[in-house]
Structure 1
């Protein structure tokens, strides 16, 4: 006598859903799109100023674009692109309908094959490279979606940009994992930062309410974000200094759209220039979002977003009284 294996309806439904997702692998997300602007010196200058990168290769008559700007030349801006396929939107919509409504970027990989120079006009194709099986992470249960973008100048491949996101149903605040059918009424937890071997020390310091900046032992240059090597001298040896917590708003944006379940727009995100000279991103608190200005003095403040997550924020000077008054 033989016994047929018992397969639950839930497992069958899960297998069927993953089969539907796998159909999108290999489909084009963009076809022969043209970059909205040629590679140009002003954008290179703005990028270098924001990054604090004074490499002479990025200026002058023989300038090249910083390789890490590769994706910047493909960005669509607020008006978007009108040409291409809808496969990627369909895939994300399918995940949304199933309750995997939150998203976090997990990592990207870039390969540089030739330098980009002012005047180059780029075109690019994008393909949905893979959709993972259902995964359980600290954020929640969901699927990793990887796209690959091929950037060209004329017929020449200039580089590739591989980008991976996690579409997930967040873990409930009580600490229990979501059921197989996520509860869409549950407000998701704030996304967790992606911690790697390169930046683990930074996040360990944040847990201890210390803002640590990398310092090159060879030349003394401070750097942020954390990197395995010095961008000034190439040295691999480093230690850290603790930031004083004083800074000013170097630049900022006010987020209105798109809405994200863990946040309540509008809110201001600032590029903060620390007293030590490096810059980092963070929410600006203590003043209304429409009162944030370049040059606004701010002071570091750590906040526990939940039982597991501590993040650095930046509060405008003199705003403590506003907070106490309920403003």
Structure 2
């Protein structure tokens, strides 16, 4: 038995998530949204009389909504707090052994008790099993199986759920080769790409009200005029937002790939790659200046690099 597997097996049987109550009672508005979205027309979910005709005391919640009632709130998710020290230690152990990627593989539900509006739901989650090292198409990893037990306010078991994820070490992949994808050119944007080939970053301008706009389009969103021309951009701006892409890797790009929304000094925004900077160096609000990516003889695209300090 490897040392890492021995460490992982020590987590089996431990409580990953202690008893946690859902933030809201089972309620009719949420049920209504669910059944309308799912196209479920069974009347027992919204009509008390229809439910009583089947021997129930009144309308019930769809069984598959069980997870809905214990979902974390947005504020709770943003706080990014681990539910237990066991959770923190397990993830740290997996990450430390290189199993830093995760994908869900199985969800096996068994239902025992129906829920009605007004019920409150709690759940606990226990680590049931951690497999030995497995080779998969994604890479080598361990299957982690947990058992969630859902209960109502009377401490009755509502449902159980075996939840299995694969924690894996991504396989090394060969760098893809090929050209960048071609833009979809049309009468409304071809001028912009033609200017880029000349290393000119232009902004479309309404000639009736002088509003600048990007992405390009045939009509002004302010005054509805169809008349327009272009102005040359100052080529300076700041990072409005950004993401870092690692996978999937598409031919023609260098990874990790920084894709940023750049707000130009003129006020318009565009999506562009960043150059001359690493992902951990990028910051919201970072001043940037124009660079160019001559991807191939037929494609030139604007990019942005950190601005020299004297520029700002």
TM-score normalised by length of structure 2: 0.51
Query: Residues of 1 paired with 2:20 and 2:167: CA distance?
Result: 25
Query: Residues of 2 paired with 1:145 and 1:27: CA distance?
Result: 13
Partner of 1:138: 137
Give 1:35 shift.
Answer: 0.9
Partner of 1:85: 84
| Map 1:1-327 → 2, pairs under 5 A | 15-61=2-48, 62-80=58-76, 85-153=84-152, 154-174=154-174, 261-262=246-247
Query: Residues of 1 paired with 2:243 and 2:146: CA distance?
Result: 21
Unaligned runs of 5+ in 2: 49-57, 177-240, 249-256, 261-269, 272-298, 303-312
Give 1:137 shift.
Answer: 0.5
SS at match of 1:53: coil
* 1:255-296 superposed Cα distances (whole Å, 9 cap, x missing partner): x999885378999xxxxxxxxxxxxxxxxxxxx89xxxxxxx
Query: Residues of 2 paired with 1:257 and 1:64: CA distance?
Result: 44
Instruction: Tell me the C-alpha RMSD between the 2 structures.
Output: 3.3
Task: Provide closer, same or farther for how the CA distance between residues 258 and 106 of structure 1 changes in structure 2, counting only shifts above 3 A.
Answer: farther
Task: Provide closer, same or farther for how the CA distance between residues 164 and 53 of structure 1 changes in structure 2, counting only shifts above 3 A.
Answer: same
Give 1:98 shift.
Answer: 1.8
| Number of residue equivalences | 181
Query: Residues of 1 paired with 2:243 and 2:23: CA distance?
Result: 21
Moved more, 45-54 or 132-141: 45-54
Task: Pick the structure with greater CA Rg.
Answer: 2
Query: Residues of 1 paired with 2:161 and 2:243: CA distance?
Result: 23
* 1:290-316 superposed Cα distances (whole Å, 9 cap, x missing partner): xxxxxxxxxxxxxxxxxxxxxxxxxxx
> Contact (CA 8 Å) 2:25, 2:69: kept in 1 or not?
yes
